Structure 1
Amino acid sequence: METVPTVDVALNPPPGERPVPDSRLLRGANTRAMVAIGVHGLYVAWLVALFAGEFIGYALPDDLVIQAADIGLSLGMLVAFLFWKWSAYRLAMQFSADPLESTPGWAVAVYFIPIANLWMPYTRVQEVREVLEDSGGALEYGRSAAPSHGFVLAWWLLWIFAPITVNLLGLGDPSGVSYAWVIGVGMTLASNLFSMALVLRMNEAAQQLAASRGAEVPAPLFG
């Protein structure tokens, strides 16, 4: 009678049966994830401080200072996120036994292509998520740490609609706090928190998958 493999063997095949990523690439992706989460965290703290000051009535910096800080932090977040995205896609290429649909460079470039940037960045993130989820990276509780399909979709909808909401409603109101201002800040906060969670969970899933294949993985970002 043929022996049926156990669940552990099916979920975690012996090292060598599937591609094992380079340890330097794992460390680089881990570092970029930490930077991306940190910069997003700074922006979240900035928004919370701005909201608290406006709501409580504290004196805020001049509008020019606020705009300069907002632009600087926003650019920093974008750069940090795209550096992480490049590393994440490159890792997915090493994890997957089959060729992916794009390259790390194009996975980043699609953010700057009009029209295509409305859906292609989302499909590239989903592609990485599927590789991490389907490539046998399940460890504790028998499943991968990769976010769900719905989580990635929610992240992308916030990524797209939060800036649109801010531009339509505005983040500031000279006469005080307004519903439009609260909605704009709330959407922006939600978008950034989802981005932080996305990076954290994707990075954790990649480290899980690498460990299950016998690769040397860096220390976790948190905990």
Structure 2
Amino acid sequence: MERAGDGEPRLRRGRGRLRAPPHRGRPGRGHPRPHPSRAPRPQRDRDRAVSDLLIGSIGNRRAPSREALDKAHRLATTASVLLGVYLAALLGSVAWYALNPFYVGRTPDIVIGVAFVVAAIAFASWKVAAYRLVPDLSGAPADRTPGWAAGGYFVPVMNLWVPFQIMGEIRDSGDARALDSARLFEVGRRLPLGVWWAAWLSAGIVERIHGRIPEPAMPSTGYVVFSMLSVLLIVAMTVAAILVVRQQDEGQQEAAEVLARLEAEAPPAAG
């Protein structure tokens, strides 16, 4: 390559036209071209995390039994469907009262109540089953017994944080921090849980205030505002709950799959 006195590369002639030599660090003669199928950063982070585990050790983590995983998955599907049914019943009731403002019956309220109880039972059942998977997937004992996953909502004061704490343990076991570090940077996998809990607490506060307001013969502005705010919070809570159930079930299933593969590829113990 010809160079000027100051060390800068000169233009050189080739096939009747002037060409600049390839710049350092750019694809060209003498420089390898990047592979076109190079994985994006999240995928590279994930592959690196899995490779680190392959090189190191999975510690006390292990894949739960297929029976336990299938049970949790079935309950997650059932809970998601029934939460959707409850949401449809709630919105249908709002539409019914909007179209029939002078209706004095309680049929829509009964339908909503039944749908809520059934969905709540399914949600609690899934939560207990998912919490049972935490010790295996995380490699450490859970902070509480599985009964707290359902019963934590009924203990005064503790119901302000225990249900959220347990859900966080389920999320972390599905995030599999050592298995998939890329997920720690995915806001979409963390946002629904925060929205669900914030909406749950806010809806409870609004419902208490709304319950203290006597229902007037002609709805007042304050009564209507609290009614609409309560409905909006419950809708947000239900939608977020559906996303939480689906994401956390998916995360636990994927983490178990990775652990099962690592266990299969691990060399046999000496002796």
TM-score with structure 2 setting the length: 0.66
Higher relative contact order (CA 8 A, sep 6+): 1
> How many angstroms does 1:61 deviate by?
6.7
**Compared with structure 1, are the counterparts of its residues 135 and 204 closer, same or farther at alpha carbon in structure 2 (3 Å cutoff)?**
same
Letter in 2 for 1:143: R
Aligned-residue CA RMSD in angstroms? 2.9
Query: Gapped runs of 5+ residues in structure 2?
Result: 1-44, 262-271
Percent identical? 25
1:26 equivalent in alignment to 2:65 = no
Residue 207 of structure 2: aligned partner: 166
Pairing 1:1-223 to 2, within 5 Å after superposition: 8=47, 10-11=49-50, 13-14=53-54, 17=58, 18-55=61-98, 57-58=99-100, 62-138=104-180, 142-143=182-183, 147-148=189-190, 150-169=191-210, 175=218, 178-214=224-260
**Compared with structure 1, are the counterparts of its residues 61 and 30 closer, same or farther at alpha carbon in structure 2 (3 Å cutoff)?**
farther
**Compared with structure 1, are the counterparts of its residues 180 and 9 closer, same or farther at alpha carbon in structure 2 (3 Å cutoff)?**
closer
**Compared with structure 1, are the counterparts of its residues 211 and 185 closer, same or farther at alpha carbon in structure 2 (3 Å cutoff)?**
same
Structure possessing the higher radius of gyration over alpha carbons: 2
> How many angstroms does 1:59 deviate by?
7.3
Deviations 1:11-32 (A, max 9, x none): 2645x94401111111100110
> How many angstroms does 1:126 deviate by?
1.1
Question: Any conservation in 2 of the 1:137–1:205 contact (CA below 8 Å)?
Answer: no
> How many angstroms does 1:106 deviate by?
2.4
Please identify, of 62-71 and 18-27, the stretch whose mean Cα deviation from structure 2 is larger. 62-71
Question: Any conservation in 1 of the 2:200–2:233 contact (CA below 8 Å)?
Answer: no
**Compared with structure 1, are the counterparts of its residues 173 and 182 closer, same or farther at alpha carbon in structure 2 (3 Å cutoff)?**
farther
**Compared with structure 1, are the counterparts of its residues 109 and 202 closer, same or farther at alpha carbon in structure 2 (3 Å cutoff)?**
same
* Segments ≥4 residues shifted beyond 6 Å: none
Distance in 1, matches of 2:71 and 2:167, equals 18
**Compared with structure 1, are the counterparts of its residues 10 and 206 closer, same or farther at alpha carbon in structure 2 (3 Å cutoff)?**
same
**Compared with structure 1, are the counterparts of its residues 68 and 137 closer, same or farther at alpha carbon in structure 2 (3 Å cutoff)?**
farther
Distance in 2, matches of 1:78 and 1:131, equals 23
Deviations 1:167-212 (A, max 9, x none): 4236x88647933322121111111111111111101111111121
> How many angstroms does 1:166 deviate by?
3.0
Letter in 1 for 2:207: V
Question: Any conservation in 1 of the 2:195–2:237 contact (CA below 8 Å)?
Answer: no
Query: Gapped runs of 5+ residues in structure 1?
Result: 1-5, 216-223
Letter in 1 for 2:171: R
